[in-house]
Structure 1
Amino acid sequence: MNDLYAQLGEAGAEDVVCRAIEELAVRLSHCERLWRQSDLPNLRKSARSLVAIADQIGMSAMAQIAGDVTDAIDLDDNPAIAATLFRLLRVGERSLTAVWEQQDLSV
């Protein structure tokens, strides 16, 4: 995120981060719903989009785990899909909370 702030300035970076955080939260929820509906093709697309968004704002752990979800789907390994997806949801929730708390401190 430091690189983002250096490139865009404080106001620009905060705008990008806030929009990305909101989008990540929506897509994480969407991933969980798709899993419960057994919609693996769309789950893969949604997880793949999480990789790009998380990378954009420097959330490398979330991006890596979302990539692991897509890999598990590609391997048609349902236990691995479940394990990595729910790891993604846990890490994602913690990461989003940490960023929101950080944003609140800067205001």
Structure 2
Amino acid sequence: MGADDAWAAGENVEQVTLLKQNEYVRLDASQLTALYHQLGEADAEDIVCRALEELAARLSHAERCYREGRLADMRKSSRSLIAIADQIGMRLLAQVAGDVTGCIDSGDHGALAATFARLLRIGERSLCEIWDLQDLPF
């Protein structure tokens, strides 16, 4: 008897569907290339490394603020992610950080939960993606 048959027969059927959240991120390589050409390899690498450290710290801080219900502090952390992410070509991360800020401003807690979870996924994948690019010459 399939799940549809059990449902039709009035049986109590529990079915859980697990949705795999997979975010496709793509870094703006032209932004990184411009940074390397403008600053030189050593200075650009320094900027990128500091930006990655800041992104990781601010994502972590925003997550802590979210758990503690400190939305004003979470908003500050999320807002600061935008400029940092843009600087090193993480356009999607910057966009979703802006979406999180908008959810906080609108007071939509359901949308905030979903959008913030997306920000964390994209942040993690973006950080991994840029480390994969570290061996490429710019």
Identify whether the pair has TM-score above 0.5, normalized to the shorter chain: yes
2:44 aligned with 1:36: no
Distance 2:33 2:114 in 1: 31
Give the TM-score normalised by the residue count of structure 1. Answer: 0.94
Identical-residue share of aligned pairs (%):
61
Q: Moved runs in structure 1, 4+ residues, more than 2 A?
A: none
Q: Which of 94, 102, 110 is 1:71 aligned to?
A: 102
Q: 1:101: how far off?
A: 2.3
Which ranges in structure 1 are unaligned for 5 or more consecutive residues?
A: none
- Higher mean displacement: 69-78 or 3-12: 3-12
The DSSP-based 3-state class of the residue aligned with 1:58 is coil
Compare relative contact order (CA 8 Å, sep 6+) and give the higher one, 1 or 2.
2
The DSSP-based 3-state class of the residue aligned with 2:40 is helix
Residue aligning to 2:41: 10
The DSSP-based 3-state class of the residue aligned with 1:6 is helix
Which ranges in structure 2 are unaligned for 5 or more consecutive residues?
A: 1-31
The DSSP-based 3-state class of the residue aligned with 2:107 is coil
Distance 1:7 1:106 in 2: 17
Give the TM-score normalised by the residue count of structure 2. Answer: 0.74
The count of residues paired between Structure 1 and Structure 2 equals 106
Q: Which has the larger radius of gyration?
A: 2
Distance 1:9 1:84 in 2: 36
1:29-82 Cα distance to aligned partner (Å, 9 max, x none)? 111111000100000000000011111111110000000000000000001111
The structure that is helix-richer by fraction is: 1
Distance 1:7 1:82 in 2: 39
